Structure 1
Amino acid sequence: MFNKEFQEKLGLAQVTSYIKGQRIQWLGHIMRRSEEETISAVMEWKPGGKGFGGRLRKRWLNMVEEDLEALGVQERKEFVQDLERWRDIVITARTLLES
């Protein structure tokens, strides 16, 4: 029996789903902090200067935004202040079985 079959029979979410939920939870924690705090500045920081060749690397924030889009969340700033709705989003992300 493969892991995916085992998880489906038991109704368990995949590890990747849990990690996505953790990323979304951390984003909410950061966004509810004051903008004067260092963590907020670091999250929004974009490095300047000449980059390396090739495609641009994904930032952590880009990955979380993709996770939220997959869940149908377009405006994270609206949801993040409503802690109950944000928790529902985190739980949905953690328990989602990926195909």
Structure 2
Amino acid sequence: MVWDGEAGEWRRRHNHKLIAFLGLLPISNVIRSQRLQYDGHNARMEEKRLTRRVMLGKPIGTRPRGRPRKRWMDNLTEDLGILEIDPNEWMKLAEDRALWRRTVKAAMDPPGPSPPE
């Protein structure tokens, strides 16, 4: 809450206004960027490394009943969709460190609608 001297009353500040006022980035953009940075690192690993095998492997067995849990690759596919990158070509893109670094930086401020005023 903040005091509005002109109106003579208290008013609420919403998150999107606070983010704009303080010049901060939304936390979801920062998380997306960090996740893509790690995925690029993982994509450049040797194929025998455990983390890469886990990321690209298929688990054996059945899933429990109910809604499936969101997997890491589901988040990656969603992030790539926001940045308009083909999910089948991202590993080739990650091989070029400079290009992937620009992609990670672009994830901080993806295209899309701006928050309401």
- Where do 4+ consecutive residues of structure 1 move more than 4 Å? none
Structure 2 residue aligned with 1:59: 71
Q: Deviations over 1:62-95 (max 9, x none)?
A: 1012101110111202210111111111111123
Structure whose residues are more often strand by fraction? 2
Structure 2 residue aligned with 1:26: 38
Give the TM-score normalised by structure 1: 0.87
Offset, 1:10 = 4.0
Number of corresponding residues:
99
Q: Gaps spanning 5+ residues in structure 1: where?
A: none
Structure 2 residue aligned with 1:84: 98
Structure whose residues are more often helix by fraction? 1
Q: Gaps spanning 5+ residues in structure 2: where?
A: 1-12
2:61 counterpart of 1:45: no
> What letter is aligned with 2:92?
E
Higher relative CO (Cα under 8 Å, sequence separation at least 6) belongs to 1
Identity %: 33
Give the Cα separation in 1 of the matches to 2:67 and 2:60. Answer: 16
Residues 12 and 95, structure 1, Cα contact 8 Å, conserved in 2: no
Residues 30 and 40, structure 1, Cα contact 8 Å, conserved in 2: yes
Give the Cα separation in 1 of the matches to 2:19 and 2:102. Answer: 22
Bigger radius of gyration, 1 or 2? 2
SS across alignment from 2:108: helix
Deviates more, 1:1-10 or 1:32-41: 1-10
Give the CA RMSD over aligned residues.
1.8
